[in-house]
Amino acid sequence: MLDDETGYIWLTRFSAATDEEVRTSFNQLEAQGMKKLVLDLRNNSGGFLEQAAAISNLFIAREDTLVFTKGKSQKMEQVFIADPAQGREDYPLIVLINRGSASASEIVAGAIQDLDRGLVVGETSFGKGLVQRQLPLNDGSAIRVTIARYYTPSGRLIQRPYSNGDTRDYYKDLYIENRETVLDSLKELRPKYKTRSGRIVYGGGGITPDQYIAYDLKLQKNTQRLLTHMKRPFFNWGSNYASNHRDEFNTYENFKSYWKLDESDFHMFLDYAANEEIELNPDELETDKDYILNMLKSEIASAHWGKDEAIGIRLHYDNQVISALNYFNEAAKFINNSQ
Summarised one tens digit per residue, pLDDT across range 36-62 is 999 999 999 999 999 999 999 999 999
Q: Identify whether the C-beta of residue 117 lies closer than 8 Å to the C-beta of residue 332.
A: no
227-237: average pLDDT: 96
Distance CA 257, CA 18 (A): 30
Q: Identify whether the C-beta of residue 111 lies closer than 8 Å to the C-beta of residue 129.
A: no
Distance CA 228, CA 43 (A): 16
Provide φ and ψ at 79, rounded to 5°.
Answer: -130, 125
User: Does the pLDDT at position 186 exceed 80?
Assistant: no
User: Does the pLDDT at position 336 exceed 80?
Assistant: no
Give me the pLDDT at residue 77, please.
87
Range from 66-75, 233-242, 271-280 carrying the lowest mean pLDDT = 66-75
Q: Which domains does the chain have, with CATH numbers?
A: 6-216+319-338 (3.90.226.10), 221-317 (no CATH)
Give me the pLDDT at residue 326, please.
97
Give me the pLDDT at residue 335, please.
87
Q: What angle do CA 207, 210, 216 make, to 5 degrees?
A: 85
89-99: average pLDDT: 97
Beta carbons within 10 angstroms of residue 13's beta carbon: 14
CA dihedral over 53, 59, 61, 65, signed as positive or negative: negative
- For the question of whether the overall pTM of this predicted structure is more than 0.85, the answer is yes
User: Does the pLDDT at position 177 exceed 80?
Assistant: no
Type of residue found at 70: K
Alpha carbon 33 to chain centroid, angstroms:
23
Greatest pairwise CA separation for the chain in angstroms: 66
Is residue 323 very low, low, confident or very high in pLDDT (cuts 50, 70, 90)? very high
User: Does the pLDDT at position 124 exceed 70?
Assistant: yes
Is residue 338 very low, low, confident or very high in pLDDT (cuts 50, 70, 90)? low
Distance CA 322, CA 35 (A): 17
* Rounded percentage of the chain residues whose pLDDT exceeds 90: 77
Question: In this structure, are strands 192-194 and 142-151 parallel, antiparallel, or unpaired?
Answer: unpaired
Is residue 142 very low, low, confident or very high in pLDDT (cuts 50, 70, 90)? very high
Question: In this structure, are strands 211-212 and 119-122 parallel, antiparallel, or unpaired?
Answer: parallel
